[in-house]
């Protein structure tokens, strides 16, 4: 059994969490944080996660077992930065 741990994706469901008029949603903060702190500062798309799943289901990964594949631009390896500029207005 393998699992995929995806980074922040702006889906319709995720956009509804913490939705307040005139303010960023929780997922927008998470995406901004990821872009500011992940080693690969780029957008993450649902296709990136889907392609990783296709790889794990393909014959190319026939000997891969028991892994969690992080599809998050490397954010999982960085730790939490509590003083990140991307969270400045959230912490105020």
Q: What is the pLDDT of residues 1-29, one digit of tens each?
A: 999 999 999 888 888 888 788 888 889 98
Contact by Cβ (8 Å): 44, 6: yes
Closest alpha carbon to 36 in 77, 81, 5: 81
Hey, which residues does 4 pair with through a beta bridge? 69
Prediction pTM value: 0.78
pLDDT of 67 higher than 90? yes
Contact by Cβ (8 Å): 25, 8: no
pLDDT of 92 higher than 80? no
Its sign, for the CA torsion 16, 25, 33, 31, is positive
């Amino acid at each position: 059994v393998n699992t995929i741990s995806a980074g922040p994706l702006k889906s319709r469901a995720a956009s509804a969490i913490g939705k307040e008029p005139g303010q960023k949603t929780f997922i927008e903060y998470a995406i901004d944080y990821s872009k500011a702190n992940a080693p690969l500062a780029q957008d993450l798309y649902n296709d990136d996660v889907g392609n990783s799943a296709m790889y794990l289901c393909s014959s190319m990964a026939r000997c891969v077992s028991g892994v969690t594949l992080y599809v998050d631009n490397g954010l999982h390896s960085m730790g939490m930065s509590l003083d990140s500029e991307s969270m400045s207005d959230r912490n105020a």
